[in-house]
């Protein structure tokens, strides 16, 4: 009987060791460059390089109140080191920050950039930040919490 108990304890210990969580870190989820995504007539965009598709109509409606006219908009998207997606488009007032959830992108935060809209947005990686470029205006460093600081023209802080 005692051998059976010892054997059972060893078996349970081995099973529990096999169930221990495996953690690989650190992980850098960032995309090296932004993606420019043009939606189809149904509002679906596809990022083939990263095997990702999603519908932008809810985002367009949240920003403009119109989700019908999606064809002429080039959405700008980049992913930061922590895995958050930053999305905006020309004339948007905000940069939207999404996190992944089961089969969806879930809004994490909305960062107001300009009440007049962003005429020519573009994203760059500036670890640990995302840099938002806007034509000749000062670029802005972003993280998922919001604006961090403006970067002087010429690029360096």
What is the pLDDT at residue 3? Answer: 59
In whole angstroms, what is the distance from residue 65 CA to residue 19 CA? 48
Q: Which of 21, 28, 17, 32 is nearest to 131 (CA)?
A: 32
Q: What is the mean pLDDT of each run of 10 residues along the chain (157 residues)?
A: 58 56 90 93 92 93 86 93 97 97 95 95 96 91 89 53
Q: What are phi and psi of 141, to 5 degrees?
A: -90, 130
pTM here is: 0.81
In whole angstroms, what is the distance from residue 84 CA to residue 99 CA? 5
Helices (H), the chain: 2-18, 57-64
What is the pLDDT at residue 145? Answer: 95
Looking at residue 21, what DSSP letter applies? P
What is the pLDDT at residue 67? Answer: 78
Domain boundaries, the chain: 29-151
Q: What are phi and psi of 13, to 5 degrees?
A: -65, -45
What is the pLDDT at residue 1? Answer: 59
**Please, which residues have CB within 8 angstroms of residue 135's CB and are 6 or more apart in sequence?**
119, 120
What is the pLDDT at residue 135? Answer: 83
What is the pLDDT at residue 157? Answer: 46
What is the pLDDT at residue 136? Answer: 84
């Amino acid at each position: 009987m005692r051998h059976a108990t010892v054997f059972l304890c060893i078996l349970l210990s081995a099973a529990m060791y096999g169930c221990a969580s495996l953690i690989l870190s650190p992980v850098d989820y960032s995309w090296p460059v932004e993606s420019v995504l043009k939606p189809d007539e149904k509002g679906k965009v596809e990022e083939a390089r990263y095997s990702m598709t999603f519908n932008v109509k809810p985002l367009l409606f949240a920003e403009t109140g119109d989700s019908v006219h999606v064809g002429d908009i080039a959405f700008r998207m980049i992913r930061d080191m922590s895995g958050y997606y930053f999305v905006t488009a020309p004339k948007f007032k905000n940069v939207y920050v999404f996190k992944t959830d089961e089969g969806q992108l879930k809004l994490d935060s909305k960062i107001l950039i300009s009440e007049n809209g962003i005429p020519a947005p573009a994203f760059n990686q500036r670890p640990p930040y995302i840099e938002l470029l806007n034509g000749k205006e000062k670029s802005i460093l972003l993280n998922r919490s919001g604006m961090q600081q403006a970067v002087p023209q010429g690029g360096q802080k």
